[in-house]
Amino acid sequence: MRILRIIFCGGLLTISFLPNAQNKWDSLIYLLVEEPPSSELYGELLVEIAWQISELDPDTANYYTSLAMDYAQKKGDDSILCRALIAQSAVRSYKGKHAESIELSYKAIRLAEELRDSVSIMDASNNIGIDLYYLEDYQGAITYYQRLIEIAKLVNNQIQLGYGYNNIALIKGELGQVEEEIEFYNLALEAFNKINDAYGLANTQVNLGTAYNKVGKSTQAIENLKNGYEVFQSMENSNGEADALTILAEIYLKEGEYARSLELLKSSNQVSEKFGLDLQLQANDRLLYQVYEAIGNKTMAFNYLKSYHEQFKKVRETEQMQLVADLREAYESEKKEQEIARLSQENEIIQLRAEQTEQQRFILFLGLLFLVVIAVAIFLFYRSKEKSNKRLIEANQQLEQLNQTKNRLFSIISHDLKSPLSSFHLITKSLTDNWDSLEKDHLKDFLITLRDSSANVRDMMDNLLKWALAQTDQLQYEPQSLNPGEVISEVKNQLHAVATLKKMEINIRQDDSLKIEADKAFLEIVIRNLVSNALKYSEVQKKIEVMVESHEGMGVISIQDQGVGMEQQQIDALFSGDMVAHDIQNSSEKGTGLGLVLCKELVHRMNGKLEVTSKINEGTTFRLMFPKAA
């Protein structure tokens, strides 16, 4: 699979190819020789030549980009300078200097934004995405490709759009997200089809075939690979031809069609040997070894295994030579920098000697300033001390809050959790001690008590866990557009057994078109706590009304029960954590009140509001207000 790099910088250059020229490169060189260096077209030609050879010969391309930048600076042509920066970024990238490449692309983007040059912004964004991909910053790369796609859609640039989709698909494949990878490749094909871009279509077809092969869809894989191969063949693109043939051979090898795989590998080798594609030959040798191994030809298998290792060694030697060359270049560069630093140091010494005389004139003046400096220092010292005291007070306040949280946690564990666990122990002991003499009604009472105790412990532990996670910022807020009615229905299903046991109805009235912006997991915790409390603190055969509606630009969820009710003072105490739920007047239920504290915190994190109205012996209404989804 290949990542796609824009190979034309988007200038205004129009090239008429020579009738006797072998290729576009010949045409460009001919035009450059014929064009006077003072003309506007000369700069365009320099940039275009650099783009055309940046992958095959980065050093020569770097020479042409330097000429283009010199030309642009002499002429004051920011447009040429911008495209030269992008071309030089590509050169750095091909040489593996991705950090330098990114820096050049940033400069190009800033210049392109001043020029309102959308094509150059897309080219530079594409380059940054490629460099971040090679640096394995996949999310950063996707961000720049998405920016490219947004601009391409605005200006209806289908080739840039296709390249952006193709490159995102490639990263999705690296991350193992194959379904999304296939989806983005299809979007790329759609863009390239609109403008009949042969290279984009062929490359994306091969990439798509490789993706289908990952998920075992060999029929679709083979079809796409063949389509890509045919286009590459018509373009006389040797790299593309050999790559498509090799991938097809690998698929047929997996399916046991050894003769067909062998035929394709030989064809790939012919193309690779003709154009000196050493890496492709190495990959083919590995597959040929596997084919001959599979058909039992040990001699040929051994020969290709040996050839594979020889090719591998050759590639490693080439890489080492390139590394030595890079190190030599770095050494020469460092040597030059050291020489410059030495000359600079000598100049500084001369300048310092000249400045000594000048400095003596200021000694008296500095003496006068000394007293002023002391006064300022004293002032700053006392000011700093005041700030330190203020920070100390704030730290003490935070420590006090943490202590309150700790004490609250210990209180829940030592008192409220201990009580139901003790009940468990006493009930189970009574059951075991008096089992033979227990009557059926007494046994049922014991089991009901056990059931209620276990439910309390379960709710308590769940809220305690969620509250502890919230205090340590481990509950991550992930907002999305959602239908609150769906969440409420899920909670209703979860609490169906409890409502049935108490012969209670949970009625939901909702506006199906209403969407709010909230975290689904947070909202489910809040709704479950409030509806569970409504069930807990209501007598049997009562109703719970849940309403979802729009009000003053907000999405409002109301939960109304017919329970014991509370006074405002009790509501405030519960939400501050100064009161536990079983202290509520007329309440026989047990609870920590931690659920309501958790609800209040989660609603606040979702940029919502929580309001409570209640009357003793009439019931309580909780109103949740959230921003509507855009």
Q: Which residue has the higher pLDDT, 495 or 458?
A: 495
How many structural domains are present in the chain? Answer: 6
Supply the CATH number for residue 591's domain: 3.30.565.10
Rg of the Cα trace of the chain? 37
Q: Is residue 327 part of a domain?
A: no
Q: Is residue 367 part of a domain?
A: yes
Token readout for 562 is 């017919």
CA distance 457 to 419: 10
pLDDT value of residue 388: 74
Domain match, 242 and 220 both: no
CA distance 440 to 484: 45
pLDDT of 97-136, one tens digit each? Answer: 999 999 999 999 999 999 999 999 999 999 999 999 999 9
CA distance 75 to 386: 58
pLDDT of 192-218, one tens digit each? Answer: 999 998 888 999 999 999 999 889 898
pLDDT value of residue 59: 85
What average pLDDT score do residues 409-426 get?
60
What average pLDDT score do residues 320-325 get?
55
Contacts of the segment 582-587: beta carbons below 8 A, 24+ positions apart: 584/537, 585/616, 586/616, 586/617, 587/537
Domain boundary among 378, 406, 434: 406
Domain match, 194 and 249 both: no
Q: Is residue 422 part of a domain?
A: yes
Q: Is residue 334 part of a domain?
A: no
Q: Which residue has the higher pLDDT, 474 or 89?
A: 89
Which residue range is the domain that position 303 belongs to?
237-311
Q: Is residue 321 part of a domain?
A: no
Whole-number average pLDDT of the chain: 79
Token readout for 369 is 């300033």
CA pseudo-torsion sign 528, 534, 536, 539: negative
Domain match, 12 and 124 both: yes
Domain match, 35 and 122 both: yes
pLDDT above 80 (res 283): yes
pLDDT value of residue 438: 74
What residues are paired with 513 via a beta bridge?
none
Domain match, 246 and 306 both: yes
Domain match, 181 and 208 both: yes
Percentage of residues of the chain with pLDDT beyond 90: 28
CB 613 within 8 A of CB 629: no
Q: Which residue has the higher pLDDT, 126 or 352?
A: 126
Domain match, 399 and 425 both: no
Q: Is 399 exposed, middle or buried (0-12, 13-18, 19+ CB in 10 A)?
A: exposed
Supply the CATH number for residue 101's domain: 1.25.40
Q: Is residue 149 part of a domain?
A: yes
Q: Which residue has the tokens 């010494």?
A: 349
Q: Is residue 207 part of a domain?
A: yes
Domain boundary among 365, 386, 406: 406
Going by pLDDT thresholds of 50, 70 and 90, the confidence category of residue 301 is: confident
Domain match, 227 and 252 both: no
Domain match, 247 and 176 both: no
Q: Which residue has the tokens 């997991």?
A: 521
Domain match, 115 and 5 both: yes
| pTM value surpassing 0.85 | no
Q: Is residue 52 part of a domain?
A: yes
Closest CA to 113 of 142, 147, 139: 147
pLDDT above 50 (res 17): no
Domain match, 530 and 609 both: yes
Domain match, 98 and 112 both: yes
Domain boundary among 236, 271, 294: 236
Buried b (16+ CB within 10 A) or exposed e, 230-239: ebbbeeebbb
CA distance 291 to 256: 9
Going by pLDDT thresholds of 50, 70 and 90, the confidence category of residue 7 is: very low
pLDDT above 50 (res 239): yes
Closest CA to 319 of 526, 96, 572, 516: 96
Which of 55-69, 307-321, 404-418, 425-439 reaches the highest mean pLDDT? 55-69
pLDDT above 80 (res 436): no
